[in-house]
């Protein structure tokens, strides 16, 4: 048996805007340790081998941050805190139940558009 693929990938936005920028940022002094908290929670739960946390740059949902994307499923969680991350791991990752109350607003995370459909929308 080979090394198994991860069952989940968790992309945690680690974008930090420079001081004075008008755009909100997913990483601030108050939220800078959320990725480490996520990794620790996965290790303590004994699932780090099958869940891959990934630091990523901007996910373009700055006004809803801090955010993270769970794949498979295109599930975007917003307004993250340590308590929310704990519940997401316990309920979604361990038990397969999306935590609806922490989902990003559909106004900023609607259904995906395929590349072919995007080209049509752009008249290409």
Residue 111 lies in a domain: yes
Residue 3 lies in a domain: no
Structural domain including 33 reads 8-121
Residue 2 lies in a domain: no
Name the pTM for this structure: 0.86
Digit-coded pLDDT (tens) for 83-113: 999 999 999 999 999 999 999 999 888 888 8
Q: How far is 67 from 104, CA to CA, in rounded Å? A: 8
Instruction: Give the side-chain half-sphere CA count within 13 A for 61.
Output: 25
* Sequential DSSP letters for 87-98: HIIIIIITT---
At residue 10, does pLDDT exceed 80?
A: yes
Residue 114 lies in a domain: yes
Q: How far is 12 from 23, CA to CA, in rounded Å? A: 18
Residue 86 lies in a domain: yes
Q: What is the pLDDT of residue 4?
A: 82
Is residue 104 within 8 A of residue 77, CB to CB? The reply is yes
CATH at residue 105: 3.40.30.10
Q: What is the pLDDT of residue 16?
A: 82
- Would you give the distance in Å from CA 100 to the centre of its chain? 14
Residue 61 lies in a domain: yes
Overall number of domains in the chain:
1
Residue 1 lies in a domain: no
């Amino acid at each position: 048996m080979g090394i198994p693929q991860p069952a989940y990938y968790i992309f945690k936005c680690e974008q930090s805007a420079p001081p004075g920028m008008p755009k909100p940022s997913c990483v601030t002094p108050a939220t800078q340790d959320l990725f480490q908290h996520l990794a620790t929670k996965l290790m303590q739960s004994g699932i780090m081998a099958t869940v891959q946390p990934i630091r990523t740059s901007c996910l373009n949902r700055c006004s809803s941050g801090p955010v993270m994307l769970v794949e498979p499923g295109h599930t975007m969680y917003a307004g993250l805190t340590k308590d929310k991350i704990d519940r997401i791991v316990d309920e979604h990752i361990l038990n397969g139940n999306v935590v609806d109350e922490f989902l990003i607003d559909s106004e900023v995370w609607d259904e995906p558009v395929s590349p072919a459909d995007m080209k049509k929308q752009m008249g290409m």
